[in-house]
Amino acid sequence: MTITGNQISSMEQRYRTTLVNSVSGFKSLQMVGTISTDGITNLALFNSIFHVGANPPLLGMVVRPDGAEHDTLKNIIATGQYTLNNVLPAWYAKAHQTSARFPSGESEFGECGFTKSYIAGLKAPFVKESTIKIGLVLRDIIDVSINNTSIVIGEIIYIILDENVIAADGYVDLEKAGSVTVAGLDSYHTTQRLGRLNYAKPGKHPEALSV
Residue type at position 210: S
Kindly indicate which of the ranges 36-44, 70-78, 81-89 contains the residues binding a copy of itself, using the contact rule CB under 8 A. 81-89
Choose between 27 and 114: whose C-beta lies nearer to a copy of itself. Answer: 27
Q: Is 2 in the site for a copy of itself (CB under 8 A)?
A: yes
Kindly indicate which of the ranges 35-43, 70-78, 96-104 contains the residues binding a copy of itself, using the contact rule CB under 8 A. 96-104
Q: Is 158 in the site for a copy of itself (CB under 8 A)?
A: yes
Query: Among residue numbers 10 through 69, which ones bind a copy of itself (CB under 8 A)?
Result: 11, 13-30, 47-60, 62, 64
Closest by CA position to 41, among listed 121, 114, 95: 114
Choose between 37 and 100: whose C-beta lies nearer to a copy of itself. Answer: 100
Among 111, 117, 123, 178, binds a copy of itself (CB under 8 A): 111
Kindly indicate which of the ranges 33-41, 71-79, 100-108 contains the residues binding a copy of itself, using the contact rule CB under 8 A. 100-108
Q: Is 144 in the site for a copy of itself (CB under 8 A)?
A: yes
Q: Is 104 in the site for a copy of itself (CB under 8 A)?
A: no
* Cα–Cα distance, 195 to 190 (Å, whole number): 15
Contact 151, 142 (CB under 8 A): yes
Residue 25 Cβ vs a copy of itself, minimum distance, rounded to whole Å: 3
Closest by CA position to 125, among listed 160, 165, 163, 169: 160
* Cα–Cα distance, 106 to 36 (Å, whole number): 12
Residue 142's DSSP bridge partners are 151
Contact 118, 209 (CB under 8 A): no
Phi-psi region of 184 (alpha: psi -120 to 50; beta: other; left: phi over 0): left
Applying CB under 8 A, the site for a copy of itself has a residue count of 112
